[in-house]
Amino acid sequence: MTAAKSTDGLALLLTLWALYCLASLVHFMHNAEFLADYPNMPVWLSRSKVYAAWLAITAVGLLGLVLVHSRYALIGVALVAVYAGFGFDGLGHYSLAPIASHTLAMNLTIWTEVGAAAALLVVALRCLFVAIRRARGAGAGA
């Protein structure tokens, strides 16, 4: 995706990736360390499982970044978009208990992660659509 690499979109993508990664880490750390305080969390969930889930999700995003900087950049941006999509999973807390049942810190970590994920998703999808459009345009001229 050399076309996407030539734009400022890549710098913004990397910046938002880092912000979402940090917001996600903070939310997952809060989940792991205060798991018993989160309302109606499944009994099978443990601190180590929360951290393992964060590592697995982050691995998808990291693979996406690696691929963005390779000849498979289009797949990489798509993986970054998938990674951003995982950030909406935090809203699942509200299917277990209403917002009012969560502490301010819980709500802040959830909504910060969701907001960062949304910003990353928008930019990743924009990069993806621009790259696809450019690739189609280049293919039509060949």
Residue 69 lies in a domain: yes
Question: Can you give the residue range of the structural domain that contains 93?
Answer: 11-38+46-135
Read off the pLDDT of residues 50-80 as tens digits, 9 standing for 90 and up: 999 999 999 999 999 999 999 899 999 999 9
Residue 57 lies in a domain: yes
Residue 140 lies in a domain: no
Contacts (Cβ under 8 Å, ≥6 apart) of 66 = 76
> Of 34, 36, 45, nearest to 105 (Cα)?
34
Residue 55 lies in a domain: yes
pLDDT of residue 72: 92
Residue 59 lies in a domain: yes
Q: How many domains does one find in the chain?
A: 1
Rounded to an integer, the average pLDDT of 101-125 is 97
